[in-house]
Every structure is written in structure tokens, then in C-alpha cells.
Amino acid sequence: MAKRKLTVQQQRRIRLQQDRSRAQADNRGAPAAAGLPESGLGAEQTGVVAVRYADSADVVIEAAGEVRRCHFRANLDSLIAGDRVAWRDGDPWGVITAVQPRKNHLDRPDNLGKLRPVAANIDRIAIVLAPQPQPHANLIDRYLVASEAQGIASMLVLNKCDMGETEDLRRLLDTYGQLGYPLLFVSAKTGAGIAQLAASLQHKTGVLVGQSGVGKSSLINALIPDADTQTGPLSTKATPVASRSSHREQGTARYTAKGTHTTSASQLFRLPGGGGLIDSPGIREFGLWHLDAAQVAAGFVEFRPLLGHCKFRDCQHRSEPECALIAAVKEGTVRAQRLGSYHALVAELSAH
Ligand code: GDP
Ligand code: ZN
């Protein structure tokens, strides 16, 4: 008899149980870490990391929609916003006991050029555009390829729709609509389309990306009216890496009370009806650093059926004879602009 296939939910339950027993085994063997309460802890619950500090983290209690400051053991040092954890409540702080494997993560290079994850378990990337500043197709493609490479669903959000649309913009948006990417027209200013955008992010973890000035901060404020107050309680033991507004000024603020770097200054903001948005300057710039040319090509959805059909295995799709992509451009099934974006992205990668 064929093995019964486990449902996603069953798999998740088993994984969580495995994580829990592993955490319990770790706890039995490990000496008490300094400052961590060993007794008087509540029952284990699940939660999501909202903000990571040097030696603690804010965890969202999903059922209650509240945030709790928690310590964590040294073996959980890689926690970032969006990580799903098991934790136990305590006084004054709780303790994170285990972290679930990440289904994906967005990376950016740190000061030393080493890639660091800045957000985990993203369900949807909203690429924000606006009539002004004028959108660049290459930048949109860059975000789409990065999303495809991580297997994360993406959508296009045209903000400032109160400004009207030019013919060029309409053509640009049509390109992506034809490729199958969902498109929403919104205005953070008038509130148009905000309910639809909120609905598309409901019970999901999303990020907003896009060039500076398109209205990402305005959209976060429109979607999450209390975003500015969703920061964890201050404490003498751990100073939050920075307030949200000073992130903006500093680019990447990540100094802590101890003067050590944390991996990111990302924060998960909770949407009123469940789900959330993770934001930080690092996420807004997330990119393609870890990809090779083949992965970039696979990130262009309409190239996929053509890949492997060029005459030369190492075809660069520039001027080689019998190139399936060049042929598709000539036939009109692939846009020249998209092939141009591909070349630009590959050139950028090899320059790194
Ligand atoms: P960010 O850099 O992507 O975070 O963009 P901001 O949220 O800071 O917005 C940039 C500018 O666009 C600000 O002056 C906003 O007031 C303006 N803006 C944001 N959303 C809208 C909108 O829907 N319509 C109009 N007309 N302006 C907007
Ligand atoms: Zn080719």
C-alpha cells in the first residue's frame, strides 16, 4: 500500500513536536544560562519573533495579539524577526526554548559583506511602485527574481493612484499583469485600495519593497494605524536597537547596549486582523547576492519553459545561434526589456 501522504498541517505538528522534544532534551543537559529563570515558567506556547535585540527578543503571542519580551539560550542566537518559536512565560521575562526551521529568509550583506538573514518566513512580497518617483522595470525585475528565487509569492502595488497614470506606466503594469503577477491600485493618501491590500496580507507575513519615495512608510501607517506604538517595552537589560524613525535616519541602526552588532533591525508590525508586515531598511534593499546566472534566468517566469532549449548548454542568450530566448523575443513571446533586465542582473552579479 502506498504510504499515506501527510498533510501540511500534520507535518507542521510533527515538526513542532520534534523541536519541542529537542528543546526539552537541550534544557535537561544544559547548565542554567546566566540570568535565565529555571523554575516558575509557564507552559510552552508558540509565537513569532517581532524584534530581535542583542540578548533578548520580543515575541508575539498570536492568540492574544500581544508582545512579550523573552530571553533565549545561546544556541538560539540566530533568531530574527519572523522566526516561529516555542516559548514559556516567566516573570519578568519569558524564555524562548526552540525555533522552527525557516521556510525562507531574506538576506542582505552586513558591514563586512557577509550575507545575513534579516527576516524569516515571508509569505508575500509587495513590490510598491508609484507614478513618482518613476518606476524602473529593471528594479521591478530584480525584486521579482529575488522573490522567485526564495519561492515567495509577490505582487505589484501601485501606490499614489490618486496621481493618475501615464501611458508608459500603464504599459509597464500591463507587462507584469500579463506575466501573472497580481496588481493592486492603492493610495495611502486617499485610502483607496487600502482595504484590498490589507485583505491580501491578512494572516500572512508580508514585506513592502520598492525604491525610496514610493510610499512604503505611508502604506505601513495606513495599514497599521498603531505601527509607531508597536515597539517592545524598554528595559535596562536590553536596549532596542533603535526606534523605527531613527532606523530611517541611520540606514541600518544595529548597535545595542553592549555595543555588539545584532543581525538586523527588522521589526514585525502586527496587522489589525492578524498577520503582519516585517520592515527594516535592510529588507527594502534585499537582493540577489546569492544567485547564479541560471537561478536569475529561472526567476523570469516566462523564460522557464525555454531554458535548456538553446543550442549551447552555456548559452548566455546574447547573440548565440539558435538561442531559444532570442527566438522568443523575435516571435514576441518574451519582451526584449525582460531579456535586457536579465543581462543587467547577471552583469551585476559577476561584478560582485
Ligand atoms: P518611502 O520612502 O517609500 O517610505 O515613502 P514615504 O512613505 O516616505 O512617502 C514618500 C512621499 O510620498 C511622501 O511625501 C508622502 O506623503 C507621499 N505619498 C505617500 N503615499 C502617497 C499617495 O498615496 N499619494 C500621494 N499623492 N502621495 C503619497
Ligand atoms: Zn540562449
The pLDDT of residue 235:
33
The dihedral through the CA atoms of 117, 284, 237, 270 has a sign that is negative
Is 185:161 a contact under the CB 8 Å cutoff?
yes
Sort residue 323 into left (φ over 0), alpha (ψ -120 to 50) or beta.
beta
- Of 69, 68, 74, the C-alpha closest to 34 is 74
Q: Helix-strand-coil percent breakdown of the chain, rounded to 5?
A: 35, 20, 45
Cα 197 to Cα 174: distance, rounded to the nearest angstrom: 19
Q: Measuring from atom 9 of ligand 1, which residue has the nearest CA?
A: 215
For a ligand 1 pocket test, name from 186, 187, 218, 284 the mutation site with the most ligand atoms within 8 angstroms of its C-beta.
218
Cα–Cα distances in angstroms (integers) from residue 259 to residues 53, 55, 82, 87, 174, in the given order: 12, 12, 24, 26, 49
Residue whose grid cell is 544556541: 75
Ligand 2 center to 141 CA (angstroms) = 19
Pairing mode, strands 183-185 and 153-158: parallel
Ligand 1 center to 214 CA (angstroms) = 6
* Cis omega (within 30 of 0) for bond into 133: yes
What are the pocket residues of ligand 1 if the criterion is a CB atom closer than 6 Å to any ligand atom? 159-160, 162-163, 187-189, 212-218
Is 253:241 a contact under the CB 8 Å cutoff?
yes
The pLDDT of residue 3:
44
Q: Measuring from atom 24 of ligand 1, which residue has the nearest CA?
A: 160
In order along its 352 residues, the chain shows pLDDT tens digits of: 444 555 655 665 555 555 555 544 444 433 344 455 556 889 999 999 999 998 899 999 877 778 999 999 889 999 999 999 999 999 899 999 999 999 999 988 888 888 888 899 999 999 999 999 999 999 999 999 999 999 999 999 999 999 999 999 999 999 999 999 999 999 999 999 999 999 999 999 999 999 999 999 999 999 998 887 776 433 333 334 333 333 333 333 333 333 333 444 789 999 998 899 999 877 776 777 788 999 999 999 999 999 999 999 999 999 999 999 999 999 999 999 999 999 999 998 877 6
pTM comes to 0.81
Q: Measuring from atom 7 of ligand 1, which residue has the nearest CA?
A: 215
Percentage, residues of the chain above pLDDT 70: 78
